[in-house]
Structure 1
Amino acid sequence: YPSLTHPSVPLNSSTHHLHFCCDITFLCFLGTSHQGGYSHEAVVYALQVCGIRHIDTAKRYGCESFLSKAIKESGVKREDLWITTKLWHSDYGYENTKQACLESCKQLGVEYLDLYLVHWPDAQVPGKSNREVRAETWRAMEELYERGICRSIGVSNFLINHLEQLKEDCQITPHVNQVEYHPFHRPQELVEYCRSRNIIFEGYCPLAKGEALSHPDIIQLAKKYGKTPAQICIRWSIQNGIVTIPKSTKPERIQENCEVFDFSLAEDDVSIINGMHDGRHVSWDPTPVV
């Protein structure tokens, strides 16, 4: 990402101070969502005890103002955090986007965002094509980036065709594409496309909303390595070079999700999990969006 100052974390590091870095793209963060509720205790625990420094949220999740309170309580300095939030489609459009960004900053209690993402490729604006609205929205994102209000800008749930259109219509390539990524959904063509264009690929739902945890192969690997199924899934995602965003409202699960830097999966075992891909979505499917 641009404007990064935090030190990198070696792959075999046991530290839980998980910062973004320029040359390593396989770290874990605290994800929030509109499903499963919000836990103030869990966020403060993640920041104070686990040393997590990236918070991923969105206007859609409805917890930006709650996060502001948790960050203040944690005592962690703003400059030590990497805060990501997202623009919901109801705010797409040039002027709406700029206003929504400022409102998210206000809700989060910050003067700038480390990363701002366009949440979904479907604009749902009557009388305008999705492509037209995405381009208009992205021009506002570019302006927010140039003004320093957003230190990085990106998209979420965008497929290759959406990214190609954006490339033709706008000036700045998205810095990030955040997409569903787990053992059952490994969109390798999209991953390779992003890498070829220096777009960092972030993966959400690394546990497939829990569906992967009961798979016999995952359970067997957990026994082999003396780890939990969740740790196997997160470690697999990391070793595939994916910026990985697990979510939990339980402090003990957040701690568990962090403990993935003291072991490595053998190449054969990574291949076993790679082979579980069947293309299923446990979240939204952007494929029908033109």
Structure 2
Amino acid sequence: MAANDAQLTRTLSNGTEIPLVGLGVWQVQDGPECERAVEWALEEGYRLIDTAQAYGNESSVGRAIRNSGVPREEIFLTTKFYPGGRDPHAEAEKSLERLGTDYLDLYLIHWPQGGPTWAWPGMEQASEAGLTKGIGISNFSAGEIQELLKVSQIQPAVNQIQFSPFEYRAGLVEACEEAGIVAQAYSPLGTGRHLGDPVVDRIASAAGRTPAQVLIRWAMQKGLSVIPKSTHRERIQENFGVFDFELDDDSIAALDALDTTRQTSEALSRDGKWWS
């Protein structure tokens, strides 16, 4: 993906365009903190906002979108079904009420608790009812994707995964691409852990960029949509400043070498699953 490439989106299997960079609001407190972050992001030019039922801040996201003055149709809005619930269709209706909108752009199964297939019929019902333009998954491994594809009537559009140079899940991204699923990176900065790495810092210094910009740009050049999270205005601005430069091959290779997963096709480390 060239630095001067005007294509700032990827086309999903349902024909809609997902922006390459968005704001994630995981662990952002409901209320003014969340509202400010979303409003700042939209003011900066972000058009992808990612929340979830489990985050408890959908109402704040919705208020911020309405207060921003940006037309709803210009915003790509994602939320996620909490798989501790029973009915994705019913829960999507509740999300829409909290968000104060008539539709979602993307509705994901947050993680494959209880197995990768049981919730999908309800996701398809939400799509068929017009509650969402697209449906997809999050934290699904390559094997779980294959199980889902055997029973799905509607193809998953996105698999949102933990992804950074340190969690370089190349096998999983490849499995997504082979299935026509766009991979989307969450925690591209390692919730801040990766910003102080000496390799990242060296590449950032050489490029005249910040470590966060290097990490986001790396994921973009791997073909992923990326959703960094921040509640600080200057960092929200910084994280969006990634469209006017490109990492060279040597920098990409140095970042690839930071991987700790052996380029896995798994969604999380063996001890990283928080569901049973």
TM-score by length of 1: 0.84
Q: Which amino acid aligns with 1:262?
A: D
For residue 264 of structure 1, the aligned residue among 243, 246, 249 is 246
Alpha-carbon contact 1:222-1:229 (below 8 Å) kept: yes
For residue 83 of structure 1, the aligned residue among 74, 77, 85 is 77
CA shift, 1:227, in A, is 0.7
Residues 159-178 of structure 1 mapped to structure 2, 5 A cutoff: 159-178=141-160
Alpha-carbon contact 1:26-1:238 (below 8 Å) kept: no
Pair 19,224 (structure 1): closer, same or farther in 2 beyond 3 Å = closer
Per-residue CA distance 1:194-228 (angstroms, 9 max, x = gap): 10111010010011111111111111111101111
Give the secondary-structure state (helix, strand or coil) at the position aligned to 1:91.
Answer: coil
Determine the C-alpha separation between the residues in 2 that align with 1:206 and 1:36: 20
Pair 225,36 (structure 1): closer, same or farther in 2 beyond 3 Å = farther
Residue 22 (1) aligns with residue 7 (2)? no
Determine the C-alpha separation between the residues in 2 that align with 1:91 and 1:147: 19
Give the secondary-structure state (helix, strand or coil) at the position aligned to 1:89.
Answer: coil
Determine the C-alpha separation between the residues in 1 that align with 2:3 and 2:85: 39
CA shift, 1:100, in A, is 0.3
Percent identity reads: 38
Pair 121,263 (structure 1): closer, same or farther in 2 beyond 3 Å = same
| Structure 1 runs not aligned, ≥5 long | 1-8, 124-129
CA shift, 1:108, in A, is 0.5
Residue 113 (1) aligns with residue 104 (2)? yes
Per-residue CA distance 1:65-89 (angstroms, 9 max, x = gap): 0111111110111111100000001
Pair 180,260 (structure 1): closer, same or farther in 2 beyond 3 Å = same
Alignment: residue pair count: 264
Alpha-carbon contact 2:203-2:214 (below 8 Å) kept: yes
CA shift, 1:229, in A, is 0.6
CA shift, 1:34, in A, is 2.5
Residue 205 (1) aligns with residue 197 (2)? no
Determine the C-alpha separation between the residues in 2 that align with 1:171 and 1:136: 13
Determine the C-alpha separation between the residues in 2 that align with 1:246 and 1:34: 12
Moved beyond 6 Å, runs of 4+: 23-26
Partner of 1:73: 67
Alpha-carbon contact 1:205-1:246 (below 8 Å) kept: yes
For residue 61 of structure 1, the aligned residue among 52, 55, 61 is 55
For residue 222 of structure 1, the aligned residue among 173, 197, 204 is 204
Determine the C-alpha separation between the residues in 1 that align with 2:210 and 2:18: 23
Give the secondary-structure state (helix, strand or coil) at the position aligned to 2:117.
Answer: helix
Alpha-carbon contact 1:25-1:241 (below 8 Å) kept: no
The alignment's C-alpha RMSD in Å is 2.5
Alpha-carbon contact 1:57-1:85 (below 8 Å) kept: yes
Per-residue CA distance 1:104-142 (angstroms, 9 max, x = gap): 01100111110000001113xxxxxx3xxx433101111
Q: Which amino acid aligns with 1:46?
A: A
Give the secondary-structure state (helix, strand or coil) at the position aligned to 1:285.
Answer: coil
